[in-house]
Amino acid sequence: MVAFENVAFVFVAGLLTALATGLGAIPFFLVDEFSDRWNVLLWGLASGIMVAASLFGLVREGLAYGSSVLLVPGVLAGVLLVVVGHRLIDGVDHGPKKYEQADFKKLLLILGVLTIHSFPEGVAVGVSFAELGLETTSPDTTLTIVGATVPLLAVFMTVAISIHNIPEGTAIAIPLRSLGVSEWRMVWWAVFSSLPQPLGAVIAYYFVTLAREFLPFGFGFAAGAMVYLVLTEFVPEALEYGADLPSGGWRELTAGATVGVVAMVPLAFV
């Protein structure tokens, strides 16, 4: 039986990643808009962080639990989740402009779309907490937080997803600014876009705790979904902002991604 306090702990971690999305709107309290160069750098940073966290953290941890027999199918399943999610939301207009104009039924549709979009990020957080509270875990790979034994991987993934959510919040706030939406409402809608993440975190954590022998599959699933998201969403988003830059945005994207990877290198030594 999964302890309620552990589920609550994972939910709070997922909620923190969702709240971090709101930080992307905070700069609009100080400036009117971001330059395209800064937007590309931010998306590059998020891309580097997520790829490094997936490879150094999730894939490495999955291999530590055994061979790639379950890890590889997990990666493929994670990719399939994102592909199916894209198919389901293709053609559905769920942009930030719709947030302000939505009636109740439309808001439910938007929330459903956001769940499909944000779920893989929540899964990555939930899977990384697989060894939460286990006394058998090596003290070299854990931290004690409010009395709970927390895997360092979970700390890194929570921080990584939170940092990655900040430019997403900025991307959401930009069109809302053009609509004249107030700064605090921009923060709210940015957070709203990531609210499914705590749910995804709890579901993933509950699953890998009940079926511990499938942990490599779970780690691979989260890694596959995150890397595929980077390739199909983050990079195209960055290059869209950088289309008018001298290098087409590639130079800024590469610089941001490099910083993101370097920032997550310590994860390889956990």
* Nearest-10 crossing angle of helices 104-128, 68-89: 170
pLDDT in tens, 172-184: 777 677 667 788 8
Q: What is the pLDDT of residue 99?
A: 53
Q: Of residues 56 and 158, which shows the higher confidence score? A: 158
- Output DSSP code: residue 2: -
Model pTM? 0.71
- Output DSSP code: residue 66: S
Q: Of residues 215 and 2, which shows the higher confidence score? A: 215
Q: Can you give the residue ranges of every domain in the chain?
A: 4-269
- 125: buried, middle or exposed (CB in 10 Å: 19+, 13-18, 0-12)? buried
- The amino acid occupying position 110 is I
Alpha-carbon distance of 101 to 161, in angstroms, equals 29
What is the pLDDT confidence band of residue 104, given thresholds at 50, 70 and 90? very low
